[in-house]
Chains A and B, each alone.
Chain A
Amino acid sequence: MNYEIKLHTLTPVHIGCDDSYTPVEFIIDTDRNTLIQFDLFEFIENLSPEEWQEFNSIASNPSPIALVHIYRFYSKMKGKIKGRELPIPNELSKRYTEVKQLKNDRDMLKGFNEFEIPRTFYNPYTLEPIVPGSSIKGSLRTAFVEALIKEHDRNRLERKEYNQIEEELLGGKMQKDPFRLLKISDFEPENSVKTKILYQINVRKERETSRESLSIPIEVIPEGALFRGTIKIESPIEGSGIRKSIEFKDLLLKSHSHYAKIFNKEIDLRKIKNFKLPNITQFRDGLKEKYFILRIGKHSGAEAVTWEGLRKIRVRTREGIQRRSESTTIWLASQEKKPKSFINAMPFGWVMLEVC
């Protein structure tokens, strides 16, 4: 069966793709808090001979100061630069202005590294974000296997490797793995989806402060975006060796149960840390019927990508690295680098699947 699915982002989502906005291919309009990504070749083509000469001489300078000069040159050319616009936090604009004034080589390199902004997975032709089927499938698989673990003797499983557990509970690996029959397409934006840049901040669950050293800008798909794709489940053919079958509704329910529990824990945590969680009342009537909650992408949190009861999360403590059943920090997407309160910061990766 083939199902049409909509995916609503409830909080900012980042799907890593090993690509980033590099400082030479964008300019920041500090008046509008906007990053403008432009085509370097197009930019060069539109330079006058004098401008080209200036640009060329800056580019020939091997010292890091050339980066500062390039930024100043870009700023001068602002009127000529056209491209894709992304909203950015006010602090990043300020930082950009500061970087343009730097004089010390070390500060410059450090400053420019801050402007190496990780991109979320995108289509290189349309430059629009994509939610890959592989992200959704991986998340569903985690939840499905967790539900199977709960039907088994957990103590016996505890001594096994994760792939052995999967193999045992799913009834085989590779060609015998029932997830072969689950086909999830990449999800494309329903209408145009505009990404934006936010800070990723790491917040300790217990203590008051965020870990300031870890606030790095990152591109996200904002909350409220809509994507569309398909999920297809085939029936196992007799003799294929696939013993376990996957039923669509059952898969989504198992998944919902895994992620709803984590969502509810975040509701509890919000009482202490006071961050922002999405309002899901619009989905409430159809929950577990039409709507199923899911978490995808970077900073989903260690709980979302591991099995309850068996998880051994690597936690850095004063006593050294420990393995625990719960993570000690949560990542939030924030407009501010070091917010005094987290009231406008949201956890990453929450989405709602809608069966059409």
Chain B
Amino acid sequence: MRLLEVKEIRGKIILKTGLHIGSGNMEMQIGGTDNPVIKHPYTNEPYIPGSSLKGKIRSLLELYYGVVAQAVLSEDLRKAGGLASPKMLKSNFDGKEHVINILKVFGAGAGEGMSEELSMKIGPTRVSFSDCFLNEEFIKEAEQKRWSYVEVKSENRINRITGTAEHPRFIERVPANAKFNFSIYFKILEKEDNNLFKDYLLKGLKLLEYDSLGSSGSRGYGKIKFEIEGDENLKREFENIKLWG
């Protein structure tokens, strides 16, 4: 195993609907919303943490390749939440290669039952996601037009007996049409890794386009689109990915 190549995917993430990646409530500001989005501490501009992208893509792939469906069959693994883990490889089932491949691409945590032998087989984590900051051109446009980088969405719950609104809440979102830069690096350590790049990383990005990023995806938030730049072939390949059928 040696580093043969580092592939790069870069481009823009375009928000199709408002995005909320929460930051928790570290500071209470007067007049601030209860649910702020995560922002860079120096610039105070919202960003998308690489961990949010990575985690969501990994979990979608685990669902897509049936890893979760397999994990829930065992009491022990169910508690781990369906995460592809070295522990899973100890039992017998079809589709073990997906678990191995997910571990190769996304890595395994320490203390997840990784033997030395398995560790040698899997090797270093292939993918590396960067935090995604606002696109420079978008910042320029926003400054020129005096746009705020966040909107506040007010929501409530309707009591279906009395018809009255309850539990009002105010959630900060980055509005639809905002643009972030993204870059993802992928280490090719053996020839077969080229297939992992396509089947686990590109497909993962595509799965995310069909799902949502951040919170409240079930009620509209976080629909995104990846616009790959700088490599026309890769862009075409990504656009033509078929996930089903």
Query: CB within 8 Å of B: which residues of A?
Result: 2, 16-18, 39, 41, 121, 123-126, 130, 132-134, 136-138, 142, 145-146, 161-162, 165-166, 179-186, 188, 229-230, 232, 237-240, 302-303, 305-307, 310-314, 323
- Number of residues from B at the complex interface, CB < 8 A: 43
B16 touches A185 (CB 8 A): yes
| Chain A residues with CB below 8 A from B219, complex form | 132-134, 137-138, 184
The answer to whether residues A133 and B17 also contact, given A180-B218, A237-B82 and a CB cut-off of 8 A, is yes
4 closest A-B pairs by beta carbon, nearest first, are A133-B220, A239-B72, A302-B163, A134-B219
Could you tell me the distance between the alpha carbons of A302 and B159 in the complex, rounded to whole angstroms? 10
B193 close to chain A: CB less than 8 A? no
Contact B218 A184 (CB under 8 A): yes
- Secondary structure class of chain A's binding surface, majority of residues: mixed
Contact across chains for A311 and B163 when beta carbons are under 8 A apart:
yes
Q: In the complex, what residues of A have CB within 8 A of residue B163's CB?
A: 302-303, 305-306, 311, 313-314
How far apart sit A186 and B20, CA to CA, in the bound complex (Å)? 13
Report if B175 contacts A (CB, 8 A): yes
Indicate if B160 sits at the interface (CB-CB under 8 A).
yes
| Residue B18 interfacial (CB < 8 Å) | yes
Contact at B176–A125, with CB atoms within 8 Å? yes
Contact of B72 (CB < 8 Å), options: A133, A230, A237: A237
Binds A, one of B49-57, B126-134, B149-157: B149-157
- List, in ascending order, chain B residues with CB within 8 A of A314's CB: 162-164
Q: A137-B219, A239-B72 are in contact. Are A232 and B17 (CB under 8 A)?
A: no
Query: Is B218 a contact of A179 with CB atoms below 8 Å?
Result: yes
Q: How far is the CA of A41 from the CA of B146 in the complex (A)?
A: 9
CA A232 – CA B220 in complex, angstroms? 11
B159 in complex: contacting residue of A2, A137, A162, A180, CB < 8 Å = A162
B13 CB, nearest partner CB in chain A, Å: 15
Bound-complex Cα distance A130 to B18 (A): 10
**Does B227 count as interface, using CB distance less than 8 angstroms?**
no
Q: Which of B202-223 contact A (CB under 8 A)?
A: 210-212, 216-221, 223
Determine if B218 and A305 form an interchain contact, defined as CB atoms under 8 angstroms apart. Answer: no
On chain B, the residues within 8 Å of A134 by CB distance are 153, 155, 216, 219-220
How distant is the Cα of A124 from the Cα of B72 in the complex, in angstroms?
43
Q: What would 9 A/B residue contacts be, using CB atoms closer than 8 Å?
A: A18-B154, A121-B153, A138-B219, A180-B218, A183-B218, A185-B220, A306-B163, A312-B161, A323-B162
